[in-house]
Structure 1
Amino acid sequence: MINLQKGQRIEIGLSKVGVGLGWDPNESTGFDFDLDASAFMLGSNKKLPQDEFFVFYNNQKSPDGAVESSGDDLTGGNSDGGDDETLTVDLTKVDPRIEEIIFTVTIHEAIARKQNFGQVHNSYIRIYNAVTNEDIARYDLDEDFSIETAVEFGRLYKRGSEWKFEAMGIGYKGGLQYFVDKYAY
């Protein structure tokens, strides 16, 4: 596994990659932890060409069929120690207008529930080779982003005909709406 540092870039050299998000259910009292993995497929202007290129729990497949979500896990109970939500990316299907795909992770209703990543045990996001399941990059959210509620994890971007991955690792105190406002046309 390549442990990428923030800002580090690597050539993917793969046609199928996955983004996995995992966390443990909330065992203390209070609300469940509902983490969400999303993908923003952007054109040359760094905006969505159309709303449907925003893949998240209410739109689980991009119009070109390139990015697909496994659906919404509301508690972190889908797996024991593995990925609870995944985004699968087939780079051979990406619409030619798309030049980069940004992956984010957010906590649903974090403000109302007074939650942050530091409270969510064993929370992580990773990008991996979807054929071999080998990790390419991974962040432990509870350690790296303890006070944040939203993270821009990384991006796949096109250089000529090649796809590369850049580990971004930028934390925010916002929610999914922050990214929607940033990337919507």
Structure 2
Amino acid sequence: MTVNLQKGQRVDLTKGNTGLNKIRVGLGWDPVQQKSSGGLFGGLFGGGGSKGANVDCDASVILLKGDHLSSKQDVIYFGNLSGANGAVTHSGDNLTGAGEGDDEQVVIELKSIPAEYNRLIFVVNIYQAAQRQQHFGMIHNAFIRLVDVSTNEQLLKYNLTENYSDQTTLITGEIYRHENDWKFAAIGTGTKDNSLGEVIQKYQA
């Protein structure tokens, strides 16, 4: 049964479920439908109706050792699709966010993550946000969810429902070690970082 989380909630993943290993982390979002008026200009440029904002969001995972980022190779995104000795793999880039379901996915083998890694931070940022004058007020239905790959059962889902206008990056959640187990925390924090590079600076030692 799916656990629906609120901001700030934490949940055990492996405690009491020692067989859990391979999980799929799905991140999704949709462009807000923008109304265009009819009349003269509406007729000249396609008539009435609605159109989606062309916002290119990118999902990334920042792998931390001792709560710090020690190498750029530990940033998993569309330009570096695998890390932690292959225990974390990214599905690749999605340019539009159109359609239902996950827009980008990350597959994680929990038992294969090297012991020195203690936190996996899941980030969604807008590509070239400053240049395109875009922000997360132009996006809705953002979520992060975890699925057990072996059973295809959705374990949990966190819908990011706050108003993130003027924010260009979302720290959606994190998977972290607690003693010998893994847990998930729903974070849902927006920032004004204009690139993934600005985000990862905050985690560098």
TM-score, with length taken from structure 1: 0.86
Q: Per-residue deviation at 1:135?
A: 4.5
| Inter-CA distance 30–137: structure 2 relative to 1 (3 Å threshold) | closer
Counterparts of 1:55-66 in structure 2, within 5 Å, are: 55-66=76-87
Q: Per-residue deviation at 1:32?
A: 2.3
**In 1, are the aligned partners of 2:9 and 2:185 still within 8 Å (CA)?**
yes
SS in 2 for 1:33: coil
| Inter-CA distance 155–24: structure 2 relative to 1 (3 Å threshold) | closer
State the one-letter code of the partner of 2:168: T
TM-score, with length taken from structure 2: 0.78
| Inter-CA distance 6–64: structure 2 relative to 1 (3 Å threshold) | same
Structure 1, unaligned stretches of length 5 or more? none
Report what 1:181 is aligned to. Answer: 201
Percentage of pairs with the same residue: 36
State the one-letter code of the partner of 1:35: C
| Inter-CA distance 2–30: structure 2 relative to 1 (3 Å threshold) | closer
State the one-letter code of the partner of 2:62: F
Q: 2:168 aligns with which of 123, 145, 149?
A: 149
State the one-letter code of the partner of 2:86: G
| Residue deviations 1:34-73 (CA, integer Å, cap 9, x gap) | 11111111111x2123221110111000041111100011
SS in 2 for 1:167: strand
Q: Per-residue deviation at 1:118?
A: 2.0
Counterparts of 1:15-34 in structure 2, within 5 Å, are: 15-24=21-30, 32-34=54-56
1:12 is aligned to 2:13: yes
State the one-letter code of the partner of 2:201: D
Further displaced range: 26-35 or 55-64: 26-35
Report what 2:48 is aligned to. Answer: none
SS in 2 for 1:99: strand
- Mapped to 2, the partners of 1:17 and 1:47 lie a distance apart of 23
**In 2, are the aligned partners of 1:145 and 1:171 still within 8 Å (CA)?**
no
Q: Per-residue deviation at 1:2?
A: 1.4
State the one-letter code of the partner of 2:9: Q
Q: Per-residue deviation at 1:85?
A: 0.8
**In 1, are the aligned partners of 2:31 and 2:53 still within 8 Å (CA)?**
no
- Mapped to 2, the partners of 1:128 and 1:43 lie a distance apart of 24
Taking only aligned residues, the RMSD between alpha carbons, in angstroms, comes to 2.2
- Mapped to 2, the partners of 1:112 and 1:30 lie a distance apart of 18
SS in 2 for 1:32: coil
- Mapped to 2, the partners of 1:22 and 1:32 lie a distance apart of 15
**In 1, are the aligned partners of 2:31 and 2:52 still within 8 Å (CA)?**
no
Q: Per-residue deviation at 1:4?
A: 1.6
Structure 2, unaligned stretches of length 5 or more? 15-19, 35-50
- Mapped to 2, the partners of 1:39 and 1:110 lie a distance apart of 19
